[in-house]
Structure 1
Amino acid sequence: MDDAAIPSHPIRIPAFRAFMIVRFAAILAQQGMVLIIAWQAYNIARLSMSAPAAAAQLGLIGLIQFVALFAMTPVSGLAADRFNRRYIGMLTLGGQLLSAVILMVSSYEGWISLPLIFALAALLGVTRAFQGPSLGALTANLVPPQLLPRAFALSSIAWQSGTIIGPAISGYAYAIKPYFAYGASAGLFLVSLIGLMLMGPVRQAEPDRTRHPLKQIVDGLAYVKANRLVQATITLDLFAVLLAGTTALLPVYARDILHVGSKGLGHLAAAPGAGAALMALFFSFFPMTRNVGVKMLAAVMIFGAATICFGATAFMPAVIQMPVALSAMAVWGAADMVSVFIRQSLVQLHTPDEMRGRVGAVSQLTISASNELGEAESGFLAALIGPVQAVILGGIGAIVITLLWSRLYPELKRARNFDPPTVEQN
């Protein structure tokens, strides 16, 4: 495409506008349904179990989804590279729509149960495994490379906004009738599905069908191992969030340390998303172009420092505890957004289109591992040494990992911009 014909902003591209509607509606539905599934599962479990046993069912739901995603990741990445990514997205949205309808009907009829919830959690894990690499790689097929960082920023705005608004919509709908919440998610999944259908054909690289599928799966893993910059960005995010994932301990802080109750918990949970959304909005208009590797390292350092600051609110005077905690979590979310923005841009732009699905699947798996397993790590560590010590130690660990990665992977510091290097960078 001639430079003069390239739009000045991704939002000027009709297919990308449609994609943003697809993504935002899907995230609203997913995030809202995850909250209600957990709430309903806990309530069902409490009818016959103690509080600790019922709480364990929530962990089991997360574990089921992670195991399903882990098992499907090699296949889902290959599928995103060998088949039409838009069609895969439509199939996964259809599966999620079906899950929402089943949950809505079973809640209305009164035959919803834990085994049904566990089965649908597994289905949702499988759909996530295939949806992530396909729709993630599809972004790079919709906009020219020059606009891709801005496109990722807008996509991140949709994600963060959906994470904040989706649970609120479902919570209010559930307060009216439980099945209303699932009905709202079903409607949003339908909007997303129709949007993807109306988007029209999207060009992507022709797959290599001469090579055995198993060898192609190995090729994706080998590419991540061989490309040290891609490897560095993925693993840095993995270990930093794994160590400093404080979100699992927010209820403990809200109830027993900050004493702000459920309302305060809502504010604490929303603060990271608000910080991340503001940072993503900034990037959508003022994209980062210089010293991206150093800025990623700095962002993860700030992420760790914000975690330590949040943990240290336990030792502060009561009058400043909540303002400091909210500020720390907002900075935490903004720093995480910078890291995610740079990681997504580097991974997508440094990966050939014919391998984006497989590499994206590896990236998705590490994100899921850092989030779900990070929350488990925080919970177990808090049980051993206390929640305050666990949060502060996690922040220190993220900083240590960043310093170590800056030595192990000098490629990060040498990454001046998002462009794949055509000549040796100094």
Structure 2
Amino acid sequence: MSADEAIIRAHREEWARLVAGLTRRFGDLHVAEEATAEAFAAAAARWPDEGVPPSPGGWLATTATRKAIDWLRREAQRDAKHRAARMVHDDTPHRPTGPVGDDRLRLVFTCCHPALAMEARVALTLRLLGGLTVAEIARAFLVKETTMARRITRAKEKISAAGIPYRVPSEADIRERRAGVLAVVYLVFNEGYLTGGGADPVRVDLCDQAVHLGRLLRTLLPDDGEVAGLLALMLLLDARRPARVSAAGELVTLAEQDRRAWDRARVAEGRALVRERIEALAAGGDPPGRYQVQAAINAVHAEAPSVRDTNWSTILALYDRLALLDPSPIVRLNRAVAVAEVDGAGAGLAQIDRLAPALDDYHALHAARADLLRRLGRDGDARVAYDRAIDLAGNAAERAYLTRRRDQLGPARVPVPDDR
């Protein structure tokens, strides 16, 4: 393995562990982040000439610790606050204080603390757990680097000022805040899976980071069904990545995708997690939550060799269950699409029309409505719906797809004036 490959691998495997461990020892997120970044910079400078050390993680941990101590010593000469931070340096062995004794779990729940705004939670999670640079996070969410830097700095300052504890969460913490943690990870994935704007229709780096965070949570909370469900859901969706955008840069919908191009390894892993949860339920486990049900829906899609062979009745039954857990308009919209496949386009359209007032600014509603109107032969109404969906869609690949579908309806009829 080359030095560059070793650094890339160590960055993926060790970044979160190093930041979390240094935060515990020194009590300062900023110091932990900077020291970890400096350790990787040192590795990039030295490993190509000196060779990859036998234990890359150990080398990085030792280097990062020295960098943190040096940082605090420098700052202690100028600022009493940093002198105080230096005093929290702790060389004693870590003793678990909660149900999971891992420094990274502390960091997950600190980054995703409900006292922080959602945008701050996402940014901190990507920076401190995912290891993305400020510039990369800024590009992902289409803001200036300086804006993102201020956002991250303010979040860390709020953690410090509000006294948000950096500790292994208790069982009560996990129950109360787990949903927020999973929501942050899924938000990162969704922004990558179909970006809200920008030139790239799919942000592979964000998808990969979300899956990486999902695996980390799975390692830390192996018995949590919703963690397994979220990881399965992301794997099953991300497996379609090779088939989702055409060579011309147009979105390819599930119905039109070449399923032979799907990542079979990710499909197999996702389906295995779904089967595991089904077996746990059969053995008397807790009822599935929303991520597990969504994963089951996508497992049914993954099992079908084509859209025509999809078991839509099972999917509709799963959406019925999901609607009980999450009766949001978006869930009901997805359920209406399944209704159209089971009971016909007219039945699905009737349900979508009932949702229109709540989702009038949501492009997916108008796209789904346009498709059903087209299937019913109502081309004029379909054209209006396609136009509305195109206006609202922020993703270039999706706009290209919707434009093509609209144009396939043929030229619009021009009203002939009545001269009588």
Fold match, TM over 0.5? Answer: no
User: Given the two structures, how large is their TM-score scaled by the length of structure 2?
Assistant: 0.26
Bigger relative contact order (CA 8 A; separation at least 6): 1
Q: Report which of the two structures shows the higher radius of gyration computed on alpha carbons.
A: 2
